[in-house]
Structure 1
Amino acid sequence: MPRAPATPHNSDAFNLGNISDALTVAANIGGIPTYNAMAYNAPSHPLLSVHISKYVKFTVTTAGTNYSKWRQIITSLLTMYQAIDHITEGAAPAAPDAVWLAVDIHVSLWFLATLSDDLHRLVQGSDGHACSTWTRLRRFFLDHGSSRYLYLSKAFHNCPRGDLSVSDYAAKLQGIADDLAAVEPPVDDRDLALAFLDGVGGSSNSRPPS
């Protein structure tokens, strides 16, 4: 039985070097403008390699849960990669280049991946730029600030410890305080400490002696 010829043992065993030529020929059929895919140089920026799922493992909903934490993560990443202009009103260049546009789309994809569908529909900017979505998102939570503040303030001052460990209870209180900071001046450190001591003491006193 005849056998297939052996595969050449060289760096171009799969004829990758000729792929761009084949694409060029195919693209020219019927007068279609030539597009050499292999020659395309994608925009390069260190932020484009950042996967937001590594840092944000939760979804922000219209209820605003974890919004302040989400905002802090996004702001920190953009500051670290010197791309804070993408969420700063009036900071976008008049004539953005390909790299700036690619980063802006990348940040917009972060929003799409970390905001709930209904929240994203409410805040997505009509021009598609990340800053528009960021600004509308902030205004959305500010518009609902009064009712949200009352809810969070009540939750903060009446936060039971239950069966939580001391560290988990402290983290829970800090999370509510962070959410409060998104709509009102931050919770004073003294108030945070007193709420924590009250919760720990109240929880301990309510448990039967071992």
Structure 2
Amino acid sequence: MAKDDDNSSPPPPSSLEFHPALTVTNIKNSIPLTLDYDKVQYSSWVELFENHVCAYEVLDHIDPKTPRPSNISETLWNRLDAIVKQWIYGTISKDLLETILGRKSTAQQTWDRIKDIFQDNKSTRAVYLKTQLNAILLDAYPNATAF
């Protein structure tokens, strides 16, 4: 008697569609900056990132004014969205990543969270700075002046 799994074949590839964004292996080659709370480089980071997504034909994942192409499948669209999120995650600091990371978020939602932190949402920045201040241990300083 043959086993049921003897006749099983490998699963089909997830998609045979090709897209230029699938060829990027190291985002740091295109975006050498690491965006973080402390350095005022948001504008430079945005310029590099938008240039990159435009060159790889995925600007529509972060810019709602850019129309979504009709010639790609939903499977490829979701894969590209995950890739754009990985690019964002790979170019921001760990602290910022922990702040903006959201389960099941789209690249657009992730992009907007970052934009809110650096442009529109001063209260989020204040909460972050307050958390950082609260994490400072007073006994790490010899006196109040050093603190």
Q: By percentage of residues, which structure has more helix?
A: 1
Deviations 1:174-208 (A, max 9, x none): xxxxxxxxxxxxxxxxxxxxxxxxxxxxxxxxxxx
- 2:19 aligned partner: 45
Alpha-carbon distance in structure 2 between the residues aligned to 1:71 and 1:79? 12
Alpha-carbon distance in structure 2 between the residues aligned to 1:100 and 1:26? 38
Q: How far apart are 1:111 and its partner, in Å?
A: 1.3
Give the RMSD, CA atoms, in angstroms: 3.4
Q: How far apart are 1:79 and its partner, in Å?
A: 1.7
Alpha-carbon distance in structure 2 between the residues aligned to 1:58 and 1:134? 16
- 2:122 aligned partner: 144
* Partner SS for 2:33: coil
C-alpha spacing 1:123/1:41, structure 2 compared with 1 (3 Å): closer
- 1:76 aligned partner: 51
Aligned residues of 1:124 and 1:132 also touching (Cα < 8 A)? no
Matches for 1:1-210 after TM superposition, within 5 Å? 28=5, 34=8, 36-37=10-11, 39-42=12-15, 43-50=17-24, 51-89=26-64, 97-142=74-119, 143-144=121-122
* Partner SS for 2:46: helix
Q: How far apart are 1:114 and its partner, in Å?
A: 1.1
Q: Tell me, which stretches of 5 or more residues in structure 2 are unaligned?
A: 126-147
* Partner SS for 2:114: helix
Q: How far apart are 1:144 and its partner, in Å?
A: 3.2
Identity %: 24
Aligned residues of 2:85 and 2:107 also touching (Cα < 8 A)? yes
Larger RCO (CA under 8 A, 6+ residues apart): 2
Alpha-carbon distance in structure 2 between the residues aligned to 1:133 and 1:26? 47
C-alpha spacing 1:138/1:26, structure 2 compared with 1 (3 Å): farther
C-alpha spacing 1:28/1:134, structure 2 compared with 1 (3 Å): same
**One-letter amino acid of the structure 2 residue matched with residue 116 of structure 1:** S
Larger Rg: 1
Alpha-carbon distance in structure 1 between the residues aligned to 2:3 and 2:57? 41
Alpha-carbon distance in structure 1 between the residues aligned to 2:27 and 2:3? 37
Q: Tell me, which stretches of 5 or more residues in structure 1 are unaligned?
A: 1-24, 148-210
Alpha-carbon distance in structure 2 between the residues aligned to 1:59 and 1:27? 51
Q: How far apart are 1:80 and its partner, in Å?
A: 2.2
Alpha-carbon distance in structure 2 between the residues aligned to 1:27 and 1:66? 58
